[in-house]
């Protein structure tokens, strides 16, 4: 996610931020046997002052209302959980989960599920606000980290260039190398930088989605999908998503033959759909564009940062509303949508309450017939659970309060 752009907009909508609540519930660990979809959901609740991490199972039961939170003792580490933490986009299968503390600290936090303790941390800031966006484990001693920001003054520390894929050894933990993504933007003006947003492993093939903004986020080149060779830590191929900008959402189809990409465009402030849309990419060999949907074909609003497959050929995603810049009046609400990629049929599932930028992460577990969305406003801030049939038809959602003692709104969803 291009977190900086969205947080500027979100913080402008918050009131009473100086009196933000302190997270106080005791941490509660879990022991869960994996099922066909994994063990459950990682829910990050945040008011952008404090954060809390809850766990749900795929039936919607609360496993842990507070695994770790901003007031958790750091256990001897440098900093407690920050206000801008997110889960990795991929399913986490180990006995511990990783939380990505993006800005300003740039730290990976390793949390033991059974004890709810932070067992280790690794700074990936290397002297500048690197804004890590995703973490992809490859083996016990190897993982990739997508660092969104590029360092304007590199050369003062090891591995301090940024705008790259950092290679880390999570068993130590330590940084061991980096993959330079500059070649993926060959031919573009120098102000455009990679801004890697998402990482994905599909049966041993590793893909990274590059948003390709200028560092001021006022303009962008066409986004890219790159394939990386995890054996040589090198760039294999680059697919330019011509005309699609600000691409931050990435999902793989149930048969693993296709990737779906969502793109916000460049300017979310006034609801512009320029550069926003969806792309379907055939990955049976070298990735190629097989179909695209402009945002204007899907509705009146730019796409959000998150999407997933609800069934073969069916996508579940959100769009962002906006305020009028001059009057600050609500002009459009966020929406959750269902898209049949074969026919192009769009079905609206629900809209946000009262204000935009409150519908967050969207996540599905196809093998379990369920999709989820984070809703910061509905029912006091809840995770929406949709039962989904084999054809991708959605039932009415149920609202789940993952943590109620403090009641921070849910923003991001991961899986473990």
C-beta contacts of 285-289 below 8 A and 24+ residues apart: 286/227, 286/237, 287/207, 287/225, 287/227, 287/237, 287/239, 287/259, 288/239, 289/239, 289/241
Looking at the predicted structure, is the pLDDT value of residue 385 above 50?
A: yes
Using CA atoms, how far apart are residues 117 and 29, in angstroms rounded to an integer?
Answer: 8
DSSP secondary structure string for all residues of 247-315: EEEEEE-TTSSEEEEEEE-S-TTTT--TTEEEEEEE-SSS-EEEEEEEHHHH-SS-EEEEEEEEETTEE
Domain range annotation of the chain: 3-11+39-415
Dihedral sign, Cα of residue 265, residue 271, residue 272, residue 278: positive
- Which residues does residue 118 pair with via DSSP β-bridges, in sequence order? 111
Q: How confident is the model at residue 224 (pLDDT cuts 50, 70, 90)?
A: very high
Q: How confident is the model at residue 77 (pLDDT cuts 50, 70, 90)?
A: low
Answer whether residue 111 shows pLDDT above 80. Answer: yes
83 pLDDT band, cuts 50/70/90, is confident
- pTM here is 0.93
Q: Which CATH number fits domain 3-11+39-415: 2.60.40.2380, 1.25.10.10, 2.130.10.10, 3.40.50.2300?
A: 2.130.10.10
Q: Is 359 helix (H, G, I), strand (E, B) or coil?
A: strand
pLDDT reading at 307 higher than 60: yes
CA distance 193 to 74: 34
Residues 6+ apart with CB under 8 A from 232: none
| SS3 state at 117 | strand
The pLDDT tens digits of the residues spanning 113-152 come to: 999 999 999 999 999 999 999 999 999 999 999 999 999 9
pLDDT at 19 over 70: no
What does the pLDDT read at residue 390?
Answer: 97
Strands 359-365 and 346-351: unpaired
- pLDDT at position 124: 98
**pLDDT of amino acid 269:** 77
Residue 302's pLDDT is 96
Strand segments, DSSP code E, in 70-149 are 85-86, 96-101, 107-112, 117-123, 132-139, 142-147
Q: What is the pLDDT of residue 76?
A: 53
User: Each residue of 317-365: pLDDT tens digit?
Assistant: 999 998 877 767 778 899 999 999 999 999 999 999 988 999 999 999 9
Predicted local confidence at residue 73, as pLDDT:
54
pLDDT at 70: 86
- The share of the chain scoring above pLDDT 90, in percent, equals 83
How much is the pLDDT for 308? 98
Mean pLDDT computed over every residue of the chain: 91
Query: Is residue 9 classed exposed, middle or buried when 0-12, 13-18 and 19+ CB atoms within 10 A define those classes?
Result: middle
**Of the listed ranges 202-211, 261-270, 310-319, the one predicted with least confidence:** 261-270
| Mean pLDDT confidence for 6-31 | 50
Order of strands, edge to edge, in the sheet holding 196-202? 196-202, 205-210, 224-229, 234-240
| pLDDT score of 22 | 38
As a whole number of angstroms, the distance between CA 282 and CA 361 comes to 24
10 Å CB burial of residue 82 (0-12, 13-18, 19+) is buried
Residue environment code for 258-297, b if the CB has 16+ CB neighbours within 10 A, otherwise e: bbbbbbbbbbbeebbbebbbbbbbebeeebebeebbebee
Q: What's the mean pLDDT in 295-307?
A: 95
User: What are the strands of the beta sheet with 96-101, ordered from one edge?
Assistant: 85-86, 96-101, 107-112, 117-123
Residue 323 is predicted with a pLDDT of: 84
């Amino acid at each position: 996610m291009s977190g900086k752009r969205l947080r500027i907009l979100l913080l402008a909508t918050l009131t009473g931020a100086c009196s933000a609540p302190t997270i106080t519930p005791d941490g509660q660990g879990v022991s869960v046997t994996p099922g066909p979809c994994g063990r459950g959901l990682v829910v990050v609740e945040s008011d952008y002052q404090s954060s809390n991490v809850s766990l749900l199972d795929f039936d919607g039961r609360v496993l842990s209302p507070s695994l770790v939170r901003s007031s958790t003792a750091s256990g001897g580490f440098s900093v407690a959980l920050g206000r801008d933490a997110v889960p990795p986009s991929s399913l986490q299968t180990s006995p511990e989960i990783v939380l990505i503390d993006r800005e300003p600290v740039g730290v990976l936090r390793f949390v033991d599920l059974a004890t709810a303790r932070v067992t280790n941390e690794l700074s990936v800031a290397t002297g500048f606000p690197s804004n890590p966006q995703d973490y992809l484990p490859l083996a016990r001693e190897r993982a990739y980290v997508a660092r969104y920001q590029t360092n304007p003054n590199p050369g003062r520390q090891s591995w301090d260039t940024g705008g790259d894929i950092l290679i880390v050894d999570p068993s130590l933990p330590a940084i061991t190398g980096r993959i330079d993504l500059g070649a993926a933007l060959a031919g573009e003006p120098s102000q455009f930088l990679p801004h890697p947003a998402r990482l994905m492993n599909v049966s041993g093939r590793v893909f990274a989605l590059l948003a390709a903004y200028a560092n001021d986020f006022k303009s962008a080149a066409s986004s890219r999908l790159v394939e990386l060779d995890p054996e040589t830590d090198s760039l294999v191929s680059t697919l330019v998503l011509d005309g699609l900008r600000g691409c931050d959402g990435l999902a793989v189809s149930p048969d693993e033959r296709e990737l779906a990409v969502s793109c916000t465009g460049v300017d979310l402030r006034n609801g512009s759909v320029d550069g926003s849309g969806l792309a379907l990419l055939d990955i049976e060999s070298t990735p190629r564009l097989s179909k695209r949907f402009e945002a204007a074909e899907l509705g009146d609003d730019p796409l959000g940062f998150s999407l997933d497959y609800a069934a073969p050929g069916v996508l579940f995603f959100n769009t962002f509303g906006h305020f009028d810049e001059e009057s600050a009046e609500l002009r459009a609400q966020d929406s959750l949508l269902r898209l049949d990629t074969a026919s192009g049929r769009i079905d609206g599932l629900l809209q946000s309450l009262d204000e935009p930028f409150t519908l967050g992460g969207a996540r599905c577990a196809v093998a379990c017939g369920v999709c989820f969305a984070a809703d910061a406003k509905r029912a006091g801030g809840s995770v929406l659970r949709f039962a989904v049939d084999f054809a991708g038809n959605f039932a009415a959602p149920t609202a789940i309060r993952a943590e109620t003692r403090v009641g921070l709104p849910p923003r991001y969803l991961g899986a473990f």
